[in-house]
A = this chain, B = another copy of it.
Amino acid sequence: KMEKLVNKIQSDMVSALEEIEGPDGGKFLHDSWIREEGGYGTSCVLQEGRVFEKAGVNITIIASPAPKAMIANMRARNKDSIDPNGNYKMFVAGVSMVVHPHNPMAPTFHANYRYFELRDASSNAKDSDKPVAAWFGGGCDLTPSYLFEEDAVHFHKVIKDTCNKHDPEYYPRFKEWCDKYFNNVHRGERRGIGGIFFDDLEDKPADQLFSFVSDCGNSLVEQYIPIVKRRINMPFTPAQKEWQQLRRGRYVEFNLVHDRGTKFGFVTPGVRIESVLMSLPLTARWQYMQKPEPGSPEEDLIKVLETPREWV
């Protein structure tokens, strides 16, 4: 069921982005691969399109024995039902996307939803048995180079409405988690204006959680596409483009220094490094001691990154 969902989320976003590119615009390249250890994936990547500098929408399905190191790691995360000496098979289905538009007025978008389950692989276990452990994780966040409050409000409102259909506590809890997670601690600034983030979600029956994650995934187009449509034709200066490049540099810093998904990718056997790093922008810039002018739109953004706001 989750496998079907991540496929649908991928194809919806790919269609929505290709529609914006238009008939003469960029097209997504589709790469499918088989994971030798069990599973498969499809990476859809668009580079140097008319509107988008780089966009990647990946799905990964893993179905294989669970490595001992992973079991140990899970137990460390309070999964007490897992026997450290047990024999397990794991199933993971996930979708992950990052969209970097050319226009510095249009924000970068990221989202990622995944389901993880462990089943007993001993000879007397039946496939119909309940999984030993199962949870959902994911989230979505927006990274503007220039802050448009109406975009931030729209983005957070769509997310909050989706969350509220399932649990009124979800949005405030996951919004805070997102602000905490997407944080370049070494800079003292967040990556962007947040969204939601959660992991190890297993506090409700799996079908209810699936329904929540499914609604989250199905609202991604509505979260992002209206925003990107109203920004992609705005005029901008070379200095504004350069500011975007500096923000892209910070994006790279987060993904390479802090992101758990990247780290997980680096240590998972049989992983495809190009798919892990497709989230990086096409171009980025680092400039020594670059400080925005006081009172400038660039400084306005930094203030929000230093102190996250409530948008809805």
A47 on the B face (CB < 8 A): yes
- Do B257 and A252 touch (CB < 8 A)? no
> Which of chain B's residues have a CB closer than 8 A to the CB of A287?
47, 282
How many angstroms between the C-alpha atoms of A253 and B285 in the bound complex? 13
Q: Which of A74-82, A109-117, A230-238, A270-278 contacts B (4 or more CB under 8 A)?
A: A270-278
> Which of chain B's residues have a CB closer than 8 A to the CB of A186?
266, 273, 276
Given A186-B266, A256-B252, A277:B273 Cβ within 8 A: no
A54 on the B face (CB < 8 A): yes
A152 on the B face (CB < 8 A): no
> Which of chain B's residues have a CB closer than 8 A to the CB of A56?
288
A185's closest neighbor in chain B, by CB? B266
A263's closest neighbor in chain B, by CB? B257
Tell which of B256, B277, B285, B288 touches A274, judged by Cβ atoms closer than 8 Å: B288
Tell me how far the C-beta of A31 lies from the nearest C-beta in chain B, rounded to whole angstroms: 7
A45's closest neighbor in chain B, by CB? B288
A61 on the B face (CB < 8 A): no
A275-309 Cβ-contact flags toward B at 8 Å (1 or 0): 01110111111111100000000000000000000
How many angstroms between the C-alpha atoms of A148 and B31 in the bound complex? 35
- Do A283 and B187 touch (CB < 8 A)? no
A56's closest neighbor in chain B, by CB? B288
- Do B256 and A266 touch (CB < 8 A)? no
A245 on the B face (CB < 8 A): yes
Q: List 5 A-B contacts (CB under 8 A).
A: A31-B289, A54-B288, A187-B273, A257-B266, A274-B289
* Besides the known contacts A253-B256, A257-B266, 13 further A-B residue pairs in the complex with CB atoms under 8 A apart: A45-B288, A45-B289, A47-B287, A47-B288, A56-B288, A186-B276, A245-B283, A252-B252, A252-B284, A256-B256, A274-B289, A278-B288, A280-B286
